[in-house]
C-alpha cells in the first residue's frame, strides 16, 4: 500500500493490508458495512482513504440492535475475555468493548512502548490513584506495568487523602490521572497540610481530557506536585493512542505501529493539510478482535507540518468537535476558556454554562476561589482577558468555595442548555 501524494509511506502498510484482507471478511459488522467493496481493490492509501468512516453512533446503534455486544467481532464470542465500557459522555449510552487475549496483549505492548519512552526504570513505583471500574485506560496501564515488572501501587477504594498518604508511604515516583484529578489532589494536599512537592513523585502522566496540553493547567499541576507532567491520549475503543515524548514536549506522538492516524475536516470529511486543525481518525492495526476502520474520534488535533517518521499532533488534543459552540459569532472551545481561567492562581475550579435557548448563545463562567484569594479582582480580570483574547463577552460570576464538583474521572465542566 503506497501513495506518495498523501504523505510518507507508512511503516504499517502490511498491517493495513492484513486488516483489510484477513480481518474484515470474518467480521459481521464490517462485512455488511463494506459489502460493496472488494478487499483486493484496496491496494493504495488513496483507495483506503475512500473507505467509509466508522462513527461511534453506528457502533452504539449496532450494540443496541444486537445486544449486548453488537456484531463487530472478528472471533467467536467465547474467545473474548476482557470487557470495558466507554464513559458514555458523548452519546449517553456507554459502548461495550471486548478484547481477546491477543488484542489485550497488543494493548499491553502499547504501554510497554510508553513506559520505554518515559524512561521508567525498576527504581520507579507507579501509582494508579483511581477505582478500577469499567474504563479501559486504568486497567490497561496497570496491567501493562505489571507485565513490564514495575512496582505497581493501586489506589482503588481509597479517599483522596488516603491516596496521598499511601503514595507518600510507598514512595510513588510516577502517577497516572486525569489532569483534573491530578490538580484536585494538590488542593486536597494543601488542605491536609501534606507537602506534595516533597514527595518522591517525579512524573505525572495525564490523560482523559485536555489539560495536559493547556499551559496554565499544566503549570498548576507541575507546581503543586513539584513534578513533570506528560500528556497521554487513548480511547476505550482504540486503546492507548499517543504520548507526549519527554524529549520533544508540546505535542502527542501517535503509536504508529498500533494505529493509523488521519486528520480530516469534520465538515467536508477531506484530509486536512498538516498544520490545520481537524478531526482525528484512527484505524486499529494490532488490536483487531473488534477492529475499527477510519474511526472518527471526535477529537480535534493539528498534525505537525514538520515531516517526521512518527505522526505528531502539535499541542495535543485541542478539543472535541461536538463541544465547539458559537458565542456572538465566535467559534469557541472549552479548552480556550480553560487556558485563560487557569492562569489565575486565585481560581480553584470553574464551570462553563452555554445557554443556546435564545437567538444568540450566552456564556456564563462560574469561578470558585481558593481560600483567602482576592477573587473579586480576579473576576474582573478574567472577564477582561476573555474579552481581549477570545473576542466575546462572558458573564463571569463567583461560585461559593467548595460548591463546584470535583472529578476523579473525566471532568464535566461544560453545561449546554439547548
Other CB atoms within 10 Å distance of the CB of residue 239: 28
Least distance (Å) from a copy of itself to the CB of residue 362?
35
CB of 152: closest distance to a copy of itself in angstroms?
A: 6
| 26: phi then psi, degrees, rounded to nearest 5 | -85, 0
CA distance 140 to 133: 12
Nearer to a copy of itself, 153 or 367 (CB): 153
Judged by CB, which is closer to a copy of itself: 122, or 418? 122
| 244: CB partners within 8 A, 6+ apart | 212, 213, 230, 231, 232, 250, 251, 252, 253, 316
What's the CA gap between 311 and 278, in Å, rounded? 14
Task: Considering the complex, state which of residue 169 and residue 372 has its C-beta at the smaller distance from a copy of itself.
Answer: 169
Helix (H) / strand (E) element for 60: namely helix 56-65
Q: Which is nearer to a copy of itself, 123 or 418 (CB)?
A: 123
Helix (H), strand (E) at residue 331 = strand 330-332
Please state the closest distance from residue 100 (CB atom) to a copy of itself, in A. Answer: 9
CB of 136 to a copy of itself, least distance (A): 11
The CB-of-104 to a copy of itself minimum distance in angstroms stands at 8
Interface ranges with a copy of itself (CB under 8 A) = 67-68, 78, 80-83, 96, 101, 122-123, 130-134, 139, 143, 146, 149-158, 166, 169-170
Cα–Cα distance measured from residue 5 to residue 319, given in angstroms and rounded to the nearest whole number: 29
- Looking at beta carbons only, is 98 or 313 nearer to a copy of itself? 98
Distance from C-alpha of 416 to C-alpha of 141, rounded to nearest angstrom: 33
CA distances from 378 to 96, 293, 366 (A): 44, 47, 12
Q: How far is the CB of 150 from a copy of itself (least distance, A)?
A: 6
Q: Given the complex with a copy of itself, which of 132 and 384 has the nearer CB atom?
A: 132
Phi, psi of 179 (to 5 degrees): -55, -40
Amino acid at each position: 500500500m503506497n501513495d506518495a501524494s498523501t504523505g510518507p509511506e507508512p511503516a504499517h502498510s502490511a498491517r493495513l493490508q492484513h486488516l483489510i484482507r484477513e480481518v474484515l471478511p470474518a467480521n459481521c459488522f464490517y462485512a455488511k458495512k463494506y459489502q460493496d467493496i472488494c478487499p483486493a481493490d484496496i491496494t493504495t492509501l488513496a483507495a483506503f482513504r475512500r473507505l467509509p468512516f466508522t462513527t461511534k453512533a453506528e457502533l452504539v446503534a449496532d450494540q443496541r440492535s444486537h445486544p449486548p455486544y453488537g456484531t463487530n467481532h472478528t472471533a467467536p464470542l467465547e474467545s473474548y475475555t476482557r470487557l470495558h465500557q466507554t464513559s458514555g459522555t458523548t452519546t449517553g449510552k456507554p459502548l461495550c468493548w471486548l478484547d481477546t487475549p491477543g488484542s489485550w496483549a497488543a494493548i499491553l505492548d502499547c504501554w510497554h512502548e510508553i513506559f520505554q519512552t518515559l524512561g521508567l526504570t525498576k527504581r520507579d513505583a507507579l501509582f494508579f490513584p483511581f477505582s478500577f471500574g469499567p474504563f479501559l485506560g486504568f486497567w490497561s496501564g496497570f496491567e501493562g506495568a505489571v507485565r513490564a515488572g514495575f512496582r505497581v501501587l493501586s489506589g482503588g477504594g481509597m479517599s483522596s487523602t488516603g491516596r496521598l498518604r499511601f503514595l507518600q508511604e510507598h514512595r510513588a515516583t510516577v502517577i497516572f490521572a486525569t489532569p483534573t484529578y491530578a490538580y484536585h489532589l494538590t488542593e486536597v494536599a494543601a488542605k491536609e497540610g501534606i507537602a506534595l512537592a516533597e514527595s518522591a513523585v517525579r512524573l505525572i502522566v495525564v490523560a482523559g481530557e485536555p489539560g495536559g496540553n493547556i499551559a496554565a493547567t499544566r503549570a498548576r499541576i507541575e507546581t503543586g506536585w513539584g513534578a513533570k507532567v506528560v500528556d497521554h491520549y487513548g480511547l476505550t475503543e482504540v486503546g492507548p493512542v499517543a504520548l507526549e515524548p519527554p524529549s520533544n514536549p508540546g505535542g502527542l506522538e501517535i503509536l504508529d505501529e498500533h494505529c493509523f492516524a488521519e486528520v480530516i475536516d469534520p465538515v467536508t470529511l477531506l484530509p486536512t493539510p498538516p498544520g490545520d486543525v481537524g478531526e482525528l481518525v484512527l484505524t486499529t492495526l494490532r488490536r483487531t478482535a473488534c477492529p475499527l476502520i477510519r474511526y472518527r474520534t471526535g477529537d480535534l488535533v493539528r498534525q505537525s507540518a514538520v515531516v517526521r517518521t512518527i505522526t505528531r499532533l502539535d499541542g495535543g488534543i485541542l478539543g472535541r468537535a461536538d463541544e465547539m459552540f458559537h458565542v456572538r459569532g465566535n467559534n469557541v472551545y472549552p479548552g480556550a476558556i480553560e487556558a485563560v481561567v487557569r492562569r489565575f492562581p486565585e481560581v480553584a475550579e470553574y464551570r462553563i454554562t452555554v445557554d443556546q435557548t435564545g437567538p444568540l448563545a450566552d456564556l456564563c463562567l462560574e469561578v470558585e476561589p481558593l481560600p483567602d484569594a482576592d477573587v473579586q479582582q480576579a473576576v474582573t480580570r478574567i472577564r477582561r482577558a476573555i474579552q481581549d483574547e477570545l473576542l466575546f463577552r462572558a458573564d463571569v460570576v463567583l461560585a461559593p468555595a467548595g460548591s463546584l464538583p470535583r472529578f476523579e474521572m473525566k471532568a464535566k465542566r461544560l453545561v449546554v442548555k439547548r
